[in-house]
Amino acid sequence: MFKNVVGLIVEYNPFHNGHLHHIQEIDRLFEDNIKIAVMSGDYVQRGEPSLINKFEKTKIALSQGVDIVIELPAFYSTQSAEIFAKSSVNLLNKLSCNYIVFGSESNDLDKLKRIATISLTKEFELSLRGFLAEGFSYPTAFSKALFDEKLGSNDILALEYLRAIKTINSKIEAYCIKREKTGYYDDEKDNFASATYIRKILLDYNKKKEDKLNKIKNLVPKFSYKILEENFGVFSCLRDFYDLIKYNIIKNHLELKDIQDLEIGLENRLYKYSLENLKFEDFFNEVLTKRITISRLQRILLHSLFGLTENVTERVKNKVPFVKILGFSARGQKYLNYLKKSENYSERKILTSNRNLKEILNEEDIELFNFNELCSQIYCIKSNYINIGYPIIKKD
């Protein structure tokens, strides 16, 4: 059908020139390819709502050459790097990808593979748990367990992708692309900038709309700029959800102990400081401790809002319940039709609409599907958009 089926794991929060470079490099490396992106939906791995909603991100992805966009559900997209990566690789595996291509600061795939192999040993696991018990954050503990090996943000995720490929015994082959110009938190350089830097500009309340848009105009492709301009004024950030988070913490205080990632005693801090603080920033700084990274606390707050418990995580972390297609191009549609002819098609549980769910999913899968839909509806409350449904079809 297609010579090369290439997977990407992305957030596009927002889509910028570095992401376009990623896609262009895939086209350079792989002839006759189809590109399948697993994309965080309305919430991202740092524990924040996406700047713009998943449908707008899907439009941008398809406009820039992605052929199929799969939603990474909220019960995966807001998890630790390990669960985020494993579920993403599982989804790409479901669609029979031959390759996965990711960005890397080191661009040393052999080195990353060696570290990934080491990190799967019992000795490493014991060392990692020891450093975590001492109060180190997961990234720091991971580094210390590797004898203080320093890794960039993209390399840490790359390791998790490689570990996932080994863990699920996938035949997917990994390729890495050198992260160009800027790092994860760096400012602008030669029309390249990190998504973190672009979000910082767009969410700065002290700058005028025109100044913000002018600042990012050369940092994102034209269509991405158009979508960001159209959505200006309704960008989402975690502080916007504080009233919902606060209400949920107060109402469900006794159930918070079961929330994913929440350590013993933190539920009392959440309850105490939600009562005492009117402003999100004050609440957040009061709750934050040296044992918890900013990203982890943000994830905990979203998990409390969703009701994402340890029990739900146990149900989904080793086996994806469905593959939800957000959009596709004409080439993507051809590939999906090709997959329909495969003998194990029913096992893939591919969804392109809300119709016939009971024919594709079992009761537990439907429950998880509805969980993710609820998360999206919560996002809609604060982001001023209506969940219009799917898929988005790009007309070539």
Known binding positions: 9-22, 103, 154, 179
Total domains in the chain come to: 2
**Using 50, 70 and 90 to split pLDDT, how confident is the model at 181?**
low
* Residue 324 Cα to chain centre, angstroms: 14
The CATH number that applies at residue 101 is 3.40.50.620
**Given 263, 294, 312, which residue is the final one in a domain?**
312
pTM: 0.94
Known binding positions for ATP: 9-22, 103, 154, 179
Assign 147 to helix, strand or coil. coil
Same domain? 95 vs 240: no
Partners of 8 in beta bridges: 37
Q: Are strands 173-178 and 99-104 parallel, antiparallel or unpaired?
A: parallel
- Give the pLDDT mean for 299-311: 97
Structural domain including 245 reads 236-312
Query: What local confidence, expressed as pLDDT, does residue 388 receive?
Result: 61
**Res. 184: pLDDT tops 60:** no
Distance CA 72, CA 78 (A): 9
pLDDT in tens, 24-82: 999 999 999 999 999 999 999 999 999 999 999 999 999 999 999 999 999 999 999 99
Tokens of 38: 């697993």
**Res. 186: pLDDT tops 70:** no
Query: What local confidence, expressed as pLDDT, does residue 325 receive?
Result: 97
**Res. 214: pLDDT tops 90:** yes
Query: What local confidence, expressed as pLDDT, does residue 292 receive?
Result: 86
Same domain? 73 vs 221: yes
**Given 282, 312, 342, which residue is the final one in a domain?**
312
Assign 241 to helix, strand or coil. helix
Tracing tokens 């180190």 back to the chain, one arrives at 136
Same domain? 164 vs 260: no
How large a percentage of the chain has pLDDT more than 70? 95
Closest CA to 257 of 307, 318, 293, 292: 307
Burial class (CB in 10 A: 0-12, 13-18, 19+), 236: buried
Tokens of 48: 């924040």
Same domain? 245 vs 330: no
**Given 312, 332, 361, which residue is the final one in a domain?**
312
**Res. 190: pLDDT tops 70:** no
